[in-house]
Amino acid sequence: MLSIKNVSKKYSNDFTALSNFNLELEGGVIGLLGANGAGKSTLMKMIATVSKPSEGIITWKGHDIHKNGDELRHDLGYLPQSFGVFPNLTAVEFLKYMAALKGINMKKAITRISELIDLLNLNEVANKRIGNYSGGMKQRIGIAQALLNDPKIIIFDEPTVGLDPNERMNFRNLINSLSKDKIIILSTHIVSDVESSAEKIVLMNNGKLICFCKNEELLNSLEGNVWEYLTQESELEDIKNKYITGNIIRRNEGMVVRIISETKPKSEAVNVQATLEDAYIYYTSGKRGRNIE
């Protein structure tokens, strides 16, 4: 179990990035959602032992990871949002280098690298210099290095940036296949990636935990409160000022606006099924009127 108890992170300029955060994770894919500045990257850096909490404790298998992080790091795979590579190395050379840093037996590493190269569709470029790779190929190399040591905890920070739709689908299938006996923390702005992969959601705002719950619990909390109706473009500004507004779709006859509201916004408004994006918008909005039940 990964346990986060009363964790806060404060910086010298009196900015609090994370405040009294509590969470216990046991297994499966956990989607980490929050706007920029919500504290997601701060939390992930502390779990990865890159940064220390100002207050509180994070434990793995009952041990404080910041007093003795070797056990955690042995079990950890981490893809940060900004991932650097050595452009003059080939993919195979780079992954061998990363395996050596992780202390992986080289014979086992070579077998594992071959598996990952195949799994991430990098066979054609495996022996070409990474400097010539596209952004999506470099991202797949980052995913591969995170999986080298067959980790028990995997942290992916914006893993699908630069991936095309097929590559994103392959990535989602990959993490779903890995999730049985691992803790996978998936942080992304692409809500559909979380919606299709995560079993539970950690929703954050302004450094605080809003909820830790199953997808369906989050969606059920908005049941009956998501609406759509046709309006004119001239009315949009007024609607945005009055309501929490989601997607707006242009049609020949006007604009179809999506609204999250506990009361019916207009007589012709029709109830529609809530999505994770609706929940994300609602619970991170200053206009919201209630908590998750």
- What would the pLDDT profile of 54-103 be if each residue is shown by its tens digit? 999 999 998 999 988 888 989 999 998 877 778 899 999 999 999 999 89
Q: Which residue has the tokens 């949009």?
A: 236
Pair 201, 215: CB distance under 8 Å: yes
Cα separations (Å) of 233 from 236, 237, 242, 248?
5, 8, 15, 10
Q: Cα separation of 142 and 86, whole Å? A: 12
Tell me which of 4-8, 11-15, 247-251 is least confident: 11-15
pLDDT at 213 (0 to 100):
92
Residue 275, pLDDT above cutoff 50: yes
**pLDDT in the model for residue 290:** 44
- pTM for the model stands at 0.86
Residue 263: alpha-carbon gap to chain centroid: 32
* Residues 292, 284 contacting (CB under 8 angstroms): no
The answer on pLDDT for 131 being more than 60 is yes
User: Half-sphere exposure of 62 toward its Cβ, with a 13 Å CA cutoff?
Assistant: 0
Looking at residue 52, its pLDDT comes to 93
Q: The tokens 């450094």 sit on which residue?
A: 207
Question: Average pLDDT over the chain, rounded to whole?
Answer: 89
Counting residues of the chain whose pLDDT is more than 90, the rounded percentage is 61
pLDDT score for 287: 60
At residue 293, the pLDDT reads 43
SS (H, E, C) the chain: CEEEEEEEEECCCCCEEEEEEEEEECCEEEEEECCCCCCHHHHHHHHCCCCCCCEEEEEECCEECCCCCHHHHHCEEEECCCCCCCCCCEHHHHHHHHHHHCCCCHHHHHHHHHHHHHHCCCHHHCCCEHHHCCHHHHHHHHHHHHHCCCCCEEEEECCCCCCCHHHHHHHHHHHHHHHHHCEEEEECCCHHHHHHHCCEEEEEECCEEEEEEEHHHHHHCCCCCEEEEEECHHHHHHHHHHCEEEEEEEECCEEEEEEECCCCCCCCCEECCCCHHHHHHHHCCCCCCCCCC
pLDDT score, position 35: 82
The band of 117, judged by pLDDT with boundaries at 50, 70 and 90, is: very high
pLDDT band for position 288 (cuts 50, 70, 90): low
Q: Which two tokens stand for residue 210?
A: 């809003």
Q: pLDDT, tens digit, for every residue of 185-202?
A: 998 877 888 888 888 999
pLDDT at position 155: 94
